Amino acid sequence: MEINVEAEKQAILKDYRQLLRIARPRMHKGDDKRIRHAFELALDAHKHMRRKSGEPYIHHPLAVAKIAAGDMGLGTTSIICALLHDTVEDTEVSLEDIRKEFGATVAKIIDGLTKISKISHQTESIQAENYRKILLTLSDDIRVILIKIADRLHNMRTLDGQSRKNQLKIASETIYLYAPLSHRLGLYSIKGELEDLAMKYTETEQYKNIANKLESTKKDRNKYINDFVRPLQAEMDKSGLKADVFGRPKSISSIWNKMRKKQVEFEDVYDKFAIRVILDSPMEREKEDCWRAYSIVTDKYSPSPTRLRDWISHPKANGYESLHTTVMGPGGQWVEVQIRTKRMDEVAEKGLAAHFKYKENKTKAQNTAEEAIESWLMQVRDFLKNQDVNPIEFINDFKLQLYQKEIYTFTPKGELKILPAGATALDFAYSIHTNIGDTTIGAKVNNKLVSISHVLANGDQVEIITSRKQRPNDDWLNIVTTSRAKSKIKNSLREEKRKIAEEGKELLERKLNQMKAHFTNDNINVLSNLYKAASSLDLFYGIAKGTLNLNELKQLKVVGGHLEIVKPEKIGRPKEEQVQENYTEESDIPKNAELVIFGESSSQFPYEFAKCCNPIPGDDVMGFISINGMIKIHRTGCNNIINLASKYGYRIIKTRWTAKTTPAFLTTIKLVGLDDIGIINKLTSIISGEMKLNMQSISLETNEGIFEGIIKVFVKDNNQVNKLIAKLKAIDGITSVIREEI
């Protein structure tokens, strides 16, 4: 295909001018020249490179820079780094070149981004250990991870050009790490888009279904929003408040999550949109004006007494401020209303960068929010310092804190401590100081004596009681919920373990001397294999504690000071391979589906269907090579396979159904409806009579006129399931019919 060089040049210049327009509000004198210099360097460095779509590669860094400037509100330094983020990794430009042209700060950020890129290319997927390295960049400069999120967002927007396997791998990584990180950094708009784009590739059918329904109901929804907003806007104007009242649709992924969580149909999700009231208020009147607006809303529409959320008096730890209430709108429909100022809205949309933009005349609430953000970043840095933690364990602990809801607690002197919901008195102690946590024996909550495992509630005032004789123990790990507390306890336990291990090391050294064997790393490795110890530390510790018997050394012989195993024992797998897949127990589904694995007939490979999601023909599926070599087949939207794909992408294999299938796949249908005489007869006449399907079981439970039913039925593919669901929905009195995932 002939390339129109002039047309491509004009498209690049158009992209660049758009970037300047977006960046201009935050530019200072001379910034335009610096950005131009970065653009020209990137343009020249990438001049021979093209994306998989065929377009010049420079469009990608320009797009990342526009996201950084527009969606995140970042400044000139970040824009320059976004433009240059792939140069050191992919071109002849060196880090020293960057340092000479743009200074040490830009070079440091580019270095962080380059390390992430190198990590990403080491295997087909970013693995758990590599996640840890990515997160280490938080301790250097937060802009590294912000630009990386912008880079990931553009890659997700242009994912169509990738292979199906890469789409699933990248989408899984996105939903596993980048969306939660965006949430924690306050980038709610980006978080929602990342989740939607990930769903588009992992749960394509559900994504299209909801998107189509949103489009088909758009006219009615807009009419309802207008009817709801019109009287509110009039009252706001009459009161003298400068307010913009409008409706905003919820993301497709959030609607899907509600459908799954509440097990309802699309039509039964009431909050498919939210009403926003955005106030133009000076900072000193923000709180007052928000509550005035709340009064107007609740005077017009009756509020739900259990659905008020005040994040203005106590902002979230990522700086989010807003009033949320749910009110009864026209036609008996519940509607969520969010009230905040323009400044708060910018923080809500753009996160950290926008928050730190407001440095002058901050209110107490804003200071608290900034302190909370800094506190969280300090905790992350502290958490990341631990070098010898298992990477899988690390990433699971870290993820705990990304999506958790928050509670507000206080010290005896009234200092605010923001903790995740479910936090205990021991978590509170570690939030103050490690030494206080390590020596905690109890607490007083609202002046009442409680144990260290007491779960705290919103508004609790907590006084920690300590003793110099107290030391952490293994049970404490089951008491705490915060990653900071878990990390500190593990550090203390490891330190104690090291002290005990020293004794074991001395015992072993003496024993080896008696055997005339050398105390070397090679011999220690032989012993670790013999005792199935994960590390030399575990080996020494087990010997000291007496759980490892030195009599086992009789299985060894000494040749020239070297140990050799006489009776070979099964050697344990590397840590990474010790992942437990207990949720993928063998399915009842017969193994005669027409699957294609690695492009070949599935009959050539050992495989079974994952019981966690029960895939059937027609579902989007992917395979995962488990630790015993068995290929487990999952639905692409299954949470378990998303987690596995994000950690072990190299073990994901391309899998698909062919047209040829057999009618022997068990699926579960859940129904809810009004109890009625003859309901079972109606159900069975459709399933067995009309559709000629075989049922494994049917069970119905009724309570006060409402029944819930579970039907297990054999089908040939998901088209047959969808047809069955449609027919069951048509029965009078049936309010919900869904296919259960588990």
Asked if residue 340 has pLDDT above 70, the reply is: yes
What long-range pairs does 174-177 form, CB within 8 A, spacing at least 24? 174/198, 175/199, 175/202, 175/642, 175/646, 176/399, 176/642, 176/643, 176/646, 176/647, 177/126, 177/131, 177/134, 177/395, 177/399, 177/646
Give the predicted TM-score (pTM) of the model. 0.63
Give the alpha-carbon dihedral of 389, 391, 394, 400, to 10 degrees. Answer: -160
Q: What is the pLDDT of residue 592?
A: 43
Reported confidence tier of residue 162, pLDDT bands at 50, 70, 90: confident
* Closest among 422, 420, 397, 434 to 135, alpha carbons compared: 397
User: Higher confidence at residue 204 or residue 588?
Assistant: 204
| Tens-digit pLDDT profile for residues 621-635 | 888 877 666 788 888
Q: What is the pLDDT of residue 198?
A: 93
Which has the minimum average pLDDT: 346-360, 496-510, 579-593? 579-593
Reported confidence tier of residue 741, pLDDT bands at 50, 70, 90: low
Percentage of the residues of the chain whose pLDDT score is greater than 70:
82
| Tens-digit pLDDT profile for residues 476-518 | 999 998 878 888 898 888 888 888 888 888 888 888 888 888 8
Q: What is the pLDDT of residue 579?
A: 39
Q: What is the pLDDT of residue 151?
A: 93
Q: What is the pLDDT of residue 575?
A: 39
Reported confidence tier of residue 355, pLDDT bands at 50, 70, 90: low
Q: Which two tokens stand for residue 67?
A: 């996201």
**481 CB contacts (<8 Å, ≥6 apart)?**
400, 404, 420, 422, 423, 424, 427
Kindly report the average pLDDT of the chain as a whole number. Answer: 81
Across 131-137, average pLDDT: 61
Q: Distance between CA 380 and CA 372 in Å, rounded?
A: 12
* Closest among 368, 468, 373, 484 to 428, alpha carbons compared: 484
Q: What is the pLDDT of residue 360?
A: 44
Q: What is the pLDDT of residue 125?
A: 43
Percentage of the residues of the chain whose pLDDT score is greater than 90:
27
Total residues belonging to the chain: 742
Catalytic residue among 89, 101, 140, 310: 89
Report the phi/psi class of residue 410: left, alpha or beta, with left for phi > 0 and alpha for psi in -120 to 50.
beta
DSSP-assigned letters across all residues of 354-393:
HHHH--SS--HHHHHHHHHHHHHHHHHHHHHT--SS-HHH
Q: Distance between CA 65 and CA 77 in Å, rounded?
A: 10
Q: What is the pLDDT of residue 58?
A: 94
| Tens-digit pLDDT profile for residues 273-299 | 899 999 999 988 999 999 999 999 999
Q: What is the pLDDT of residue 41?
A: 94
Q: What is the pLDDT of residue 364?
A: 52
What domains are defined for the chain? 5-207 (1.10.3210.10), 211-361 (3.30.460.10), 370-489 (3.10.20.30), 504-575 (no CATH), 579-657 (no CATH), 665-739 (3.30.70.260)
Q: Which two tokens stand for residue 640?
A: 């378990």
| Tens-digit pLDDT profile for residues 67-124 | 999 988 888 999 999 999 999 888 888 989 999 999 998 998 888 887 655 555 444 3
Q: Distance between CA 277 and CA 293 in Å, rounded?
A: 8
Beta strands 333-341; 323-329: pairing state: antiparallel
**528 CB contacts (<8 Å, ≥6 apart)?**
534, 535, 536, 538, 539
Q: What is the pLDDT of residue 270?
A: 77
User: Higher confidence at residue 183 or residue 597?
Assistant: 183
Asked if residue 577 has pLDDT above 50, the reply is: no
Across 231-253, average pLDDT: 92
| Tens-digit pLDDT profile for residues 422-447 | 899 999 999 899 999 999 999 999 88
Which has the minimum average pLDDT: 151-155, 562-566, 693-697? 562-566
Catalytic residue among 32, 90, 463, 496: 90
Across 323-349, average pLDDT: 90
Q: Is 90 a catalytic residue?
A: yes
Reported confidence tier of residue 585, pLDDT bands at 50, 70, 90: very low
Beta strands 595-597; 652-657: pairing state: antiparallel
Distance of CA 159 to the CA centre of its chain: 19
Give the neighbor-by-neighbor strand order of the sheet with 621-625. 600-601, 595-597, 652-657, 621-625, 631-635, 607-609
